[in-house]
Amino acid sequence: MADESHVTETPPAEAAADWTIAQNWQHYTAEEHATWDTLFARQSQLLPGRASDAYLRGLDVLKLSKPGIPDFAELSERLMKLTGWQVVAVPGLVPDDVFFDHMANRRFVAGNFIRRPDQLDYLQEPDVFHDVFGHVPMLADPVFADYLEAYGRGGQRALGLDALKYLGRLYWYTVEFGLIQEGDDLRIYGSGIVSSFAESRFALDDPSPNRIAFDIARVMRTEYRIDDFQQNYFVIPSFEELLRVTVETDFAPLYEELKAQEDIPVAAIVAGDRVLTQGTQHYARSKARG
Ligand SMILES: C[C@H](O)[C@H](O)[C@H]1CNc2nc(N)[nH]c(=O)c2N1
Ligand SMILES: N[C@@H](Cc1ccccc1)C(=O)O
Ligand SMILES: [Fe+2]
């Protein structure tokens, strides 16, 4: 999950300078493994027909020899052979520059903790289920694996250009909450959706949110919220197209243009949008009434 986290700059005592820690797979309790198995089984039944082909193909990389929470060492060995990525354990959110450096070197940072049984349906911090079940299967797709490495390098560049706000939105509306058109069907590839039981249905079926065709400048201008279902989803035509418009476009001039423009509020529809669903926003309004 990506958000405007306010993490401290010095790593916690047990972490290395790059914020990595030992996963300590042998320390997980039977209850923690059971939480993983419950979440895994629930999503595995829900996602066929909802998640993108690339995600469902990638899911196999998680079918390891042991039940319960995956062992990052075993997982990384398999992932490395497929796309050169590995999964490293961190205690939680890490500073942006640390996050980008790992990503630029094909190291995916994953929380080593798992949510409590009473948090099955939603939590804001990225736990091992969100990071590994949500993100890792996409790392097994060669095109998406290239996209994420390029994103890491782009993040390092964006830091230097004071443009993190714009790149963070691109991450949010693709890696975390992206939808993709597959033939006549709308499918999920965003990790924040696939790792959420309720949002996996809401994102595709509910008339409440907007669903808008992906446009790089529009996405970078659009605000987002981190505490509930999204009110906007952006739809890409393919991962190859996402790679083409992000890796091949020099963002520096785009960042300058965006700095001269207003941000677009969440849920707004603006001129030029190719709107697939004009949302009713009834979900957000019902929550606002409390
Ligand atoms: C880079 C961007 O700001 C984003 O919010 C980052 C910050 N730090 C992170 N740290 C961890 N562990 N996981 C994440 O997804 C992120 N997201
Ligand atoms: N093209 C971006 C780098 C980038 C690539 C892929 C994803 C995100 C960002 C830049 O010029 O900064
Ligand atoms: Fe995430």
Got the DSSP string for 237-267? S-HHHHHHHHHSS-HHHHHHHHHTSPPBPTT
Ligand 3 ion: nearby residues, β-carbon < 5 Å: 1, 126, 191
Query: Residue 155: CA atoms inside 13 Å, Cβ hemisphere, count?
Result: 22
Distance between CA atoms of residues 174 and 206, nearest Å: 19
What's the pLDDT tens digit per position in 122-134? Answer: 777 899 999 999 9
% of residues, the chain, pLDDT over 90: 90
Q: What is the pLDDT of residue 125?
A: 85
Q: Homologous superfamily of 25-289 in CATH?
A: Aromatic amino acid hydroxylase (1.10.800.10)
Contact (CB, 8 A) for 136 and 58? yes
What's the pLDDT tens digit per position in 214-246? Answer: 999 999 999 999 989 999 999 999 999 999 999
Nearest atom of ligand 1 to the alpha carbon of 164: 3
Q: What is the pLDDT of residue 1?
A: 61
Mutate to test the pocket of ligand 1, among 5, 124, 153 (most ligand atoms within 8 A of CB): 5
59 Cα–ligand 3 center, Å: 16
What is residue 218's DSSP assignment? H
- Average pLDDT of the chain is 94
Q: What is the pLDDT of residue 255?
A: 98
Contact (CB, 8 A) for 62 and 133? yes
Nearest atom of ligand 1 to the alpha carbon of 98: 8
Place 5 in a pLDDT band, splitting at 50, 70 and 90. low
Residue 276 has pLDDT above 90, yes or no: yes
Alpha helices, H only, the chain: 30-46, 53-58, 72-83, 96-104, 128, 136-139, 142-160, 164-171, 191-194, 197-205, 216-221, 239-247, 251-259, 282-289
Q: Is 247 in the pocket of ligand 2 (CB under 6 A)?
A: yes
Q: What is the pLDDT of residue 225?
A: 92
Nearest atom of ligand 1 to the alpha carbon of 92: 12
Number of other CB atoms surrounding residue 231 within 10 Å:
20
